[in-house]
Amino acid sequence: MRLSNYFMPVLKETPADATIASHQYMLRAGMVRQQSAGIYAWLPLGHRVLKKIEQIVREEQDKAGAVEMLMPTIQSADLWKETGRYDAYGPEMLRITDRGDREMLYGPTNEDMITDIFRSYVRSYKSLPLMLYHIQWKFRDERRPRFGVMRGREFLMKDTYSFDIDEAAARKSYYKMFVAYLNTFARLGIQAIPVKADPGPIGGDLSHEFVILAESGESGVFCHSDLLEMAAPGEVDFDSDLSDHVDKRMALYAATDEKHDEAAFAAIPKDKQMSARGIEVGHIFYFGDKYSGPMKADVMGSDGKPHTIMGGSYGIGVSRLVGAIIEASHDENGIVWPKSVAPFGVGIINLKSDNEDTNAVCETLYSQLSKAGVDPLYDDSSDRGGVKFSRMDLIGLPFAVTVGPRGIKEGVIEVKNRATGERQSLTPDAAAKFLISEFTS
Ligand code: P5A
């Protein structure tokens, strides 16, 4: 992408209503624009990151055997009346009436609808286990939308729903999602801790939040520090026994302040006690027959008798993650994107956009990197060098290459690593090779 063809409205000033780094940087880098309280337009740069996160989440769901679909944002109130949640949900639900005076709502979640879909088609245990998911916008009329996209009213969620013949099978589905989540967050470049949680309005008796550590986090987190040391499961056979990966984590103490047990925490060896602030980026629930019961979602078992299916739901805050990743990875100059979700791989800074030599080197590098799939953003503007450097730091691409007339005379350009600050002077060819290898290894 050439900056001259792009739309990246960078702000000089930090907007006054943005109090935390991710919100400030997202507004300043021109990633999002608030259109109403808690409702954002995703500008091109933010949209790229959102799509990258969404794709990683999708790939890990697919690996775990979940099947993608898409349900509507607008739902009929009838299903919610059937499960009793229409009244239970309260003012967080955006209620709408259509021209025929029918009660509708903008979906805050989809347990009710997916259970209706399931019961309409699935009749036999032979179709189980089944996991369905979608990545769709939700609306919750939060009392205090804040911190930009982290607590929005309209937000993008990945929600998966599992259907099983009995509790033992349902727990296997829960374990699959648990492992898929560990791998998802690792690929996103963040360390997420599974913490025993309160099921809240979703219901059920088994629930974990996945929390990433950041000073601005809304909840306090207390845990055994070994949880931070464990490597993600990586490639696993999802049909095998996954308890190895899950049980050893569940066995270690981890709680947010709501459920914190001072005595259990004190029992952890002192040097292993960890307390910090955290952001919830995922939440999984096992709720058994909470929805399938009232909605009469039965299937025929191998015993020839009807069984009420046992369900779970599994959420990831896709749009919240854009902010949460920035909270976990930034410095005083701006965002520091993990490679896997960076909007572009490499920034190319042409220090003199009216100079034939720098132009030629930039053009060659731009086409080499583009062909190799590295996705360069070429700053071909006529802005001053200082403006280009600080803008590049702000948007946080993993590498920035500076091409100036002085370096070119000596046959070199400079490659800077955004995360470490390390700089190397390389010939243009060596720079291209190095950068391509960074994104293909
Ligand atoms: C699980 C999937 C559920 O809604 N039903 C379907 C279950 N869980 S949850 O914890 O309420 O939400 C799942 C994740 O969505 C993100 N999230 C939000 N993101 C931005 N703004 C909000 N207002 C918001 N509310 C929830 C969180 O990441 C949460 O873990």
| Residue 272, φ and ψ in degrees, nearest 5 | -110, 0
Q: List, for residues 149-159, the tens digit of each pLDDT value.
A: 999 999 999 99
Q: What is the 3-state secondary structure (H, E, C) of 73-132?
A: CEEEHHHHHHHCHHHHCHHHCEEEECCCCCEEEECCCCHHHHHHHHHHHCCEHHHCCEEE
Centre of ligand 1 to C-alpha 336, Å, is 25
Question: 195 in ligand 1 pocket by Cβ < 6 Å?
Answer: no
227-275 pLDDT, tens digit per residue, is 999 999 999 999 999 999 999 999 999 999 888 999 999 999 999 999 9
Please choose, from the candidates 135, 128, 129, the residue with its C-alpha nearest in 3D space to the C-alpha of residue 110: 135
Whether ligand 1 lies within 6 angstroms of the CB of 281 is answered as yes
- Ligand 1 centroid from CA 160, angstroms: 12
Q: How many CA atoms lie within 13 A of 171 on its CB side?
A: 9
Instruction: Take residue 212 and report the two structure tokens written for it.
Output: 């990433």
| pLDDT score at 197 | 86
**Sign of the torsion formed by the C-alpha atoms of 331, 333, 338 and 343:** positive
Q: Tell me if 429 sits within 8 A of 401, measured CB to CB.
A: no
Task: Quote the CA–CA distance of 299 and 127 in Å, as a whole number.
Answer: 9
**Gap from CA of 174 to ligand 1 centroid (Å):** 17
CATH architecture of structural domain 346-440: 3-Layer(aba) Sandwich (3.40)
Which residues in the chain are classed under CATH 3.40.50.800?
346-440
User: What is the distance in angstroms between the CA of the first residue and the CA of the last residue of the chain?
Assistant: 23
Three-state secondary structure string covering 400-419: EEEECHHHHHHCCEEEEECC
Closest to 343 measured CA to CA, from 364, 367, 326: 326
Strands of 365-411, DSSP E: 376-379, 399-403
Best residue among 54, 57, 320, 325 to mutate for probing ligand 1's pocket (most ligand atoms within 8 Å of CB) is 320
Q: Where in the chain is the domain with CATH 3.30.930.10?
A: 3-335
Q: How far is the CA of 419 from the centre of ligand 1 (A)?
A: 30
For residue 46, the SS3 value is helix
What's the CATH fold of domain 3-335?
BirA Bifunctional Protein; domain 2 (3.30.930)
Q: Which DSSP symbol is given to 377?
A: E
Which amino acid makes up residue 31?
M
**Average pLDDT over the chain, rounded to an integer:** 96
Q: Is 158 in the pocket of ligand 1 (CB under 6 A)?
A: no
Model confidence pTM above 0.75? yes
Question: Rounded to an integer, what is the distance from CA 83 to the centroid of its chain?
Answer: 29
Distance 140 CA to ligand 1 centre (A): 9
Name residues of the chain where pLDDT drops below 50.
none
User: What's the confidence (pLDDT) of residue 203?
Assistant: 65
pLDDT tens-digit readout, 182-196: 999 999 999 999 999
Amino acid letter, residue 113? M
Question: Which atom from ligand 1 is nearest to the alpha carbon of 150?
Answer: 20
Whether the CB-CB separation of 181 and 282 falls below 8 Å is answered with yes
Output the residue whose Cα is nearest ligand 1's atom 17.
317
Query: Token digits for 33?
Result: 């624009």
Give me the phi and psi of 377, to 5 degrees please: -110, 115
Token output for 307: 């069984």
CB of 314 sitting under 6 A from ligand 1? yes
Are 312 and 374 in contact by the 8 Å Cβ rule? The answer is: no
129: preceding bond cis by omega (within 30 degrees): yes
CA of 108 to the centre of ligand 1 (A): 9
β-sheet bridge partners, residue 135: 158
Q: What are the phi and psi torsion angles at 384 (to 5°)?
A: -65, 155
